[in-house]
Amino acid sequence: MNFNKILTELCWRLEDGTPDLKNPKHLDELKTVLVRNGTNPKLIKALIKNLTDGPELNEGRSRGETLEEFIVAAANGNPPPETSHDIPPDAGENIMVYLKKNGVSGKADVLGASTLGVTSEWSSFWEGGKVPGATKTPKTDLTVGGVKISLKGGGSGQLMSGGKNESKATFNAAVDAVGGLEDKLYNSIVTSIEGLASTNLTKGTLGSAIKAQTDELVNVANKSHKSLMSDLDKLFANNNAIRDAFAYEAMSGDQKFGKSSKGSCTHILNSSFDGKKNNLHALSDSGYISKIASQMKLSVRFKSTSQKSMGEKTGYYRYWSVIGLIADNLNENLSNYAEGELLTEGVITDILSKLKKFIKSIISKVKKYIKKSIQGMVEFLGADYTVSVNNNIKF
C-alpha cells in the first residue's frame, strides 16, 4: 500500500483538507478511500476501530502544534509541556534565544485553531456577508510580544487552498494593493473565478461526469479551471507587483483580518524541532515576498466526496473548485530538515502540511498494524475525480 498517496486522496476528499481522527465523517472518508483501493473489508473494520479506540494513535496535538507550546512556555518562563512527540525539552528555550537575539521577546500566546472576525471588505464576497467559520482560522500561529508569527518547520507548505469566494477575495485584495488592473484582463479573471464550482452534486463519480460532459455545471467549472489557470499564469509572468501582492495576502491575511488583528501574520519563523536551526522573516521584507512569489505556481482543480445517507452511498458525489498555492523551500537553510512539518492556516487547507501532521501522529503505528494483518495490498491507482493540474509551487 502506498500510504502517501492514500493519505493524499483522503486530504483532497475533505473540504478543509485536514484529517481529524475524532471526526466520524472523516473516518467514513478514510474507509471510502481504503475500499476504493482494494483493502480487505475485515482489515478496514479493524483499522478504523484501532484508530478510534487505540490510545497511542489518538495523539491530541501534532508535533508542530506542540512545538508552538514549547516556544510559548519558554517565552513565559514556564517549564516545557509533557509530550510523546520527539521534541527535546530545551527546544523552546533554543528558539527563544534566537528570537531575542533578533529583537523578539515578551509574553507569548498560542492562537491555535481559533476563528477570528474578518473585515467587512472580505465578508462582502460571501452572500449576505456570512463568511463560514471554517475559513476564519488565523494566519498567525503564535504571538511573542507584539510579533505575530506563522511557525513553519521544513521546506514546503500550502499557503492557500481556497474555494470560489476565498479566491475571489484574495485576487481582489491583490488588485487593490497595486492600484487596479487593466479592465479586460481583470474581467476575464473575475469571470473565470465566478465560473468555479461552489458545492454541488453530480450523479456518479466526478471523473465520469467530466469524461461524459453531461453535467453542465461540471462542464462550466472545468472550463473555468483551464481559463483561470491560463490567465493567472500570464498575469503573474508579466506583472510582478500583483504576483507579489497575491503571495503577500496569502501569507499575511492583512486584507482578510485587518493589520491590527491577531489573525494577520507579520513574520514567518522556520525552526527545526530541536530549536537549533532558526530563521525569521518579516513579511514587510519585499525581497523575501518576491523571492517566494517569483517561483509561485497555482493549481485550480476539483475536490469531491461521495454523498451518503444513513451511512450508505447515494450514488451522488459532492464537489467544489479550489485554488491551491503551495510553497517549497520557504527557507533554503532548513531544506535538509525533511522531517519538518509546516503549520499553515487550517482553512487554507496545505495538503502537504496536513499530510505530514497526519503521518507523524499515526503512520508508523498504522504501517506496523497493517503489515501484521494482511499482505499483498493493492497499490493505489489514483483518484478519478481529480483534474490534472500542477499543484507544486517552488519558492
Question: pLDDT tens digit string along 339-364?
Answer: 333 333 333 333 344 444 554 554 45
pLDDT for 209 equals 85
pLDDT for 394 equals 35
Which of 11-25, 49-63, 174-188 ranks highest by mean pLDDT? Answer: 174-188
What percent of the chain lies above the pLDDT cut of 70? Answer: 69
Mean pLDDT along residues 369-374: 42
Residue 380 scores a pLDDT above 50: no
pLDDT for 261 equals 94
pLDDT tens, residue by residue, 81-98? 988 888 999 999 999 999
Domain count for the chain:
1
Residue 305 scores a pLDDT above 90: no
Measured CA angle at 216 (ends 210, 124), to 5 deg: 105
pLDDT for 367 equals 47
Domain that holds residue 194: 3-373
| Range of lowest pLDDT (12-16, 168-172, 249-253) | 12-16
| 62 closest CA partner among 279, 314, 303, 358 | 358
pTM of the shown model: 0.64
**What are the distances in angstroms from CA 152 to CA 83, 259, 341?**
19, 21, 7
Mean pLDDT along residues 36-61: 58
Q: Which helix (H) or strand (E) holds 17?
A: none
Residue 366 scores a pLDDT above 60: no
pLDDT for 331 equals 52
Q: Given strand 267-271, what is the order of strands in its sheet?
A: 108-110, 142-144, 147-152, 267-271, 278-282
Please report whether residue 320 resides in a domain. yes
319 neighbors 202 (Cβ within 8 angstroms): yes
Please name the residue ranges forming H helices in the chain.
3-13, 24-36, 41-53, 63-75, 91-101, 120-123, 164-177, 183-194, 206-212, 216-238, 240-252, 254-257, 286-293, 351-373
| Range of lowest pLDDT (159-173, 179-193, 379-393) | 379-393
Please report whether residue 394 resides in a domain. no
Q: Between 330 and 229, name the one with better pLDDT.
A: 229
Please report whether residue 384 resides in a domain. no
Residue 51 scores a pLDDT above 60: yes
Mean pLDDT along residues 128-146: 89
Please report whether residue 148 resides in a domain. yes
Measured CA angle at 292 (ends 289, 295), to 5 deg: 140
pLDDT for 284 equals 95
pLDDT for 62 equals 74
